[in-house]
Structure 1
Amino acid sequence: MPMLALARILLAPLLLWQGRQVRRQVPKLPEASGARLGLIGSDHAGHAVPRLRLLIVGDSSGAGVGAATQDEALAGQLARTLARRLQAPVAWQLVAQTGWTTPEATAALRALAAQGRLPPADVMVTALGVNDTIAGTSPARWMRQMSALEACARDLAGVQLSVVSAVPPMARFPALPQPLRRVLGASSQRLDRALQRWAADSGARLHVEMPVAVRRESPQALMAADGFHPGPALYRVWAEALATQIVADWPSSPVLPGAQPPLAGAAGGAGTATGSGLGRPSRSIAT
């Protein structure tokens, strides 16, 4: 039996008690306020047709817990950074909620599409894995769930490039006591290794780690007051790391054929884009 599984079994009563204590004691921060879809930026001629259509799917970190507004959270900072670097409009939509596991995120995409509220997207960014870690999901099962999420985004929104954020290193979460922190840290690392291998299986995927400088920083300097979620400073460097790789891997054509900004209530469906990066060798990115 693997050591991690054995530790979970032997320490189960203590881990369960510590988990309950964390839920009672850690402040429950709200999700960031503000719009969850929009269009940001314009090109040199002042046109607002997006060059890139972005879908962000996640759990509480994707929803911006730890930031006051979406402008300070991952979605807002990423869309703004991409628009600046591309010097062109970026259309974006955020689909995220505190507590979501990957299957719940997939179900949410299907529900939005059924309601006509999932606009076309070229690139999907995911911020998932913490709740899957807490749930004890095995790497093999999680990869099947991630594949289902990717297939859903591809079929329903036309996504052609998946950019997966590394599973957060839970061994560095100040809110978690030992040995819960060590066990969840090992579990999150195990899921992230599987995520890296999964990304390497396709030229239409990128695995993006946090910048090295962030990994060396004290967690307290970058995380929210609850010791469990990112703060605005961490959201900013996370967005910068993601934007660097999206810009590098996405074509720089002036306008993607058929690109339209997402509008509240607009009909969803698969969009068409050329030059998606399909067939390029995938890689795990550490900046």
Structure 2
Amino acid sequence: MKVPGLMDADRILRIPLLPVLAVQALHVRRNAQRLPEPIGPRKGREGHGPRLRLLIAGDSSAAGVGVDYQSQALSGQLVSRLARQYCVEWRLEATTGHTTQDTLNRLQNLDATFDVVVTALGVNDVTRLVSQRKFANLQTRLLNHLSKKLGARHVVVTAVPRMERFPALPQPLAWVLGRQSSRLDQSLQCLIKDFPGALHLPLDFPDDPTLAAADGYHPSPKAYQLWAEAVANLLRQA
């Protein structure tokens, strides 16, 4: 008989912990500081050099929640770095609360072609109780759409954030959500092997309170800076 590992322990304990988890989840939802999406352009052209068509797609983190202006968010920070070498034609398609399914639906109506796409998804799939199998299927469909319909030569797939490290989440809720986010990210790492142009980007940031926004749930300007640098470095290697 298989002995359950750490990755499965939360599934076993989820039922006896359900009353506690429900109360904690309700408390977090009621008391969470709701930060707006930053102001600023969501598409544009910047830099000089070879043409690079860039799409950033995903949830609230892709949208830049946690900062005041898009120039401080992932889009602004990444574009400013890539513009040192390229003429970057960029577009941001991201909305707070979006799951992989929501993003896939949104991009179905996008009539454009891109060289590079950066995705940031997973947190809302975890909180909406999307299963590991369904998440993998949806991400596979998304990667197919990005590479075939939108023509992306490279897709930087940002890892599902480690939710157990979110300051806004109490224990044991943080642990349970963290285990599920780890499972979804393992699925990402496996499925992108079937896509030669896909690159998995782990975000192994240090334990630094300044990397979290005021709500304890989203990245701070410093975190977005580190994220943008990691994407830029990965693309240079590719």
TM-score between the two structures when normalised by the length of structure 2: 0.92
Q: Quote how far apart the aligned CAs of 1:151 are.
A: 2.0
1:107-122 equivalence runs, <5 A: 107-111=105-109, 113=110, 118-122=111-115
Is 1:39 paired with 2:45? yes
Q: Which residue of structure 2 lines up, in the alignment, with residue 10 of structure 1?
A: 16
Q: Which amino acid aligns with 2:59?
A: D
SS at match of 1:10: helix
Retained in 2: the 8 A contact 1:199–1:205? yes
Q: Which residue of structure 1 lines up, in the alignment, with residue 61 of structure 2?
A: 61
Distance 1:101 1:9 in 2: 25
Distance 1:122 1:202 in 2: 15
Q: Which residue of structure 2 lines up, in the alignment, with residue 29 of structure 1?
A: 35
Greater shift after overlay, 50-59 or 163-172? 50-59
Q: Which amino acid aligns with 2:128?
A: A
What do the CA deviations read for 1:67-104 (whole angstroms, capped 9, x no partner)? 111110011111111122xx221111111000000000
1:75-114 equivalence runs, <5 A: 75-84=75-84, 87-111=85-109, 113=110
SS at match of 1:71: helix
Specify which of 198, 209, 220 is matched with residue 231 of structure 1: 220
Specify which of 119, 132, 142 is matched with residue 149 of structure 1: 142
Instruction: Give the superposed CA RMSD.
Output: 1.5
Q: What is the percentage of aligned positions where both structures have the same residue?
A: 45
Distance 2:112 2:127 in 1: 31
Structure 2 unpaired stretches of 5+? none
Q: Which amino acid aligns with 1:217?
A: D
Q: Quote how far apart the aligned CAs of 1:198 are.
A: 1.5
Retained in 2: the 8 A contact 1:82–1:247? no
| Structure (1/2) with the larger helix percentage | 2
Q: Which amino acid aligns with 1:4?
A: D
Higher RCO, Cα 8 Å, sep 6+: 1
Retained in 2: the 8 A contact 1:106–1:149? yes
What do the CA deviations read for 1:51-76 (whole angstroms, capped 9, x no partner)? 21111111010010001111100111
Structure 1 unpaired stretches of 5+? 44-49, 250-287
Distance 2:86 2:169 in 1: 42
Q: Which residue of structure 2 lines up, in the alignment, with residue 168 of structure 1?
A: 161
Q: Quote how far apart the aligned CAs of 1:41 are.
A: 0.6
Would you say how many aligned residue pairs link Structure 1 and Structure 2?
232
Q: Which amino acid aligns with 1:101?
A: T
Is 1:190 paired with 2:147? no
